[in-house]
A and B are shown apart, each in its own frame.
Chain A
Amino acid sequence: METAYASATQQGRDPMVRLFAAGARAMLPWLAGIIPFGLVIGVSAARADIPTAAGWLTGPAIYSGSAQIATIQMLDGGAAPIVIVATALIINLRLVLYSGAIATHWRGTPRWWRITAPYLLVDPSFVVGMDGYQRHDRLDFGHRYYLGGATVLWLAWLAAISVGATLGAQLPSGLRLELIIPLYLIGQVVGRLSDRATRRAAVTAAVIAVIALTAPLHLGVPLAIVAGLGAAMTVREVSR
């Protein structure tokens, strides 16, 4: 198999630039799913009862779609700040796992890398990045590949949120665009229900969320997520 390095030397271009481009290309299929999500988050930022700029800030600050949705929706609903932060962090706890897996490739890297590269770490950049380290024997090649994919993702994500926020602010409120978010989430969940444990997680979380709708401090959402996780864990792993 032709490596990115070999093809780069053939074309007489800097291999590091080629690797950055290869990582960026590997991210493109992900963008098809990411861009609509970003648009939806932008619309919700514009419709929510918070400054649109604050909703947009969830992009660069939190940089994880599901945690951003939870934050915007709960801020809009007037939940207690501590509950909102806790919910976002429960949703983002998976980042610790990604961090642990990819850190094995980042030992001995310069400090600037160890500070900036993790900032870009989220589901798509993790998958593309790990794939890059598997494809290339040299770690610095993998770094470039990760950086290419992660940069494209970051730019596309913030652009999509910006466009969504602009559109969402201009369209008439009679369209009830705030309901795009729950409907979008329904689509994402229903598409994954083939697995029994996932089904149990989703159904339990939805039921608890509705029951706990009027729970104090808006504790319903974090409670529902934890209950969903618990329900999924009761399904034995071998049964899938």
Chain B
Amino acid sequence: MTVWAVILLAGLGSYLFRISMVLLAERVPLPATVERASGFVAPAAFAALAATGIATAAAGTDLTQAVPLLAAAAVAVIAVRHTGRPYLAVVAGMPTLWLLTWAVGAS
């Protein structure tokens, strides 16, 4: 299966989810557990993807490359935790990464 087929299949499935209850004449009540769990999908997915992204980038590198990455992630967490502003994760994290990568390379 190609990249394109994966994207189109995921898209088709998502569309079927969207139209599912519209096609059913009467609303099928979903279990309360499912309704509640759906509220946690976004934070769980975001956390899993963020952790995978950072860990994949850090894995297989030596310490000089891993430290700037992990420090950037840590700075991002701290910045958002202290200010409550989500965009600071990128605004503070990327410069940290650049700065430390440069510092490690220069030393």
The residues of A with any CB-CB pair to B shorter than 8 Å are 36, 40, 50-51, 54, 57-58, 60-64, 66-67, 69-71, 73, 75, 77, 81, 84-85, 88-100, 102-104, 106-107, 114-115, 117-119, 121, 175-176, 178-193, 197-198, 201-210, 213, 220-221, 224-225, 227-229, 232-233, 237
Q: How many residues of B contact A (CB 8 A)?
A: 70
Highest count of chain A CB atoms <10 Å: which of B12, B20, B50? B50
Please, which residue of chain B has its CB at the minimum distance from the CB of A183? B93
- B73 and chain A: residue at smallest CB distance: A186
> Main secondary structure on chain A at its contact with chain B?
helix
Cross-chain pairs A/B with CB under 8 angstroms, 24 sampled: A50-B3, A54-B3, A61-B11, A62-B11, A70-B45, A94-B38, A95-B17, A95-B18, A96-B17, A97-B34, A102-B22, A114-B22, A114-B23, A117-B22, A118-B15, A119-B18, A121-B18, A179-B93, A186-B76, A190-B86, A191-B84, A191-B85, A213-B52, A225-B45
CB-nearest residue of chain A to B4: A54
Partner of B77, one of A61, A106, A190, A192: A190
Could you tell me which B residues sit within 8 Å of A by CB distance?
A: 1, 3-15, 17-25, 27-28, 30, 33-38, 40-57, 59, 69, 72-73, 76-77, 80-81, 84-90, 93-94, 97-98, 101
Query: In the complex, A100 Cα to B21 Cα: how many Å?
Result: 5
- Flag if A57 contacts B7 (CB, 8 Å): yes
B13: chain A residues within 8 A (beta carbon): 85, 88-89, 92
Q: Is the CB of B52 within 8 A of A73?
A: yes
Specify which chain B residues have a CB less than 8 angstroms from the CB of A192 in the assembled complex.
43
> Which residues on B sit within 8 Å (CB–CB) of A178?
53, 57
Give A54 Cβ to nearest chain B Cβ, in Å: 5
**Distance in angstroms between the alpha carbons of A189 and B10 in the assembled complex:** 24
Q: Are A189's CB and B11's CB within 8 A?
A: no
Pair count A-B, CB < 8 A: 275
Contacts of A90 in B (CB 8 A): 41, 45
B45 close to A205 (CB less than 8 A): yes
CB nearest neighbor in A for B23: A114
Let me know if B94 and A92 touch, CB within 8 A: no
Residue in B closest to A107 when the chains form the complex, CB atoms: B25
Contact of B47 among A71, A89, A202 (CB under 8 A): A202
Smallest CB-CB separation from A106: which chain B residue? B22
Least CB distance from B64 to A in Å reads 14
A67:B27 contact, CB within 8 angstroms: no
User: What residue in chain A is nearest B28 (Cβ atoms)?
Assistant: A100
Asked, given contacts A70-B49, A183-B89, whether A213 binds B56 with beta carbons under 8 Å apart, the answer is yes
In the bound complex, CA of A60 to CA of B7 (Å): 10
**Is there contact, CB below 8 Å, between B14 and A209?**
no
Q: Known interface pairs A114-B23, A202-B46. Does A187 touch B89 (Cβ–Cβ under 8 Å)? A: yes
- Least distance between B36 CB and chain A CB atoms (Å): 7
User: A99-B21, A114-B23, A233-B37 in contact; A191/B80 too (CB < 8 A)?
Assistant: yes
A residues less than 8 Å from B27 (CB atoms): 100, 103-104
Whether the Cβ atoms of B21 and A189 lie closer than 8 Å is no
Q: Are A119 and B15 in contact (CB under 8 A)?
A: yes
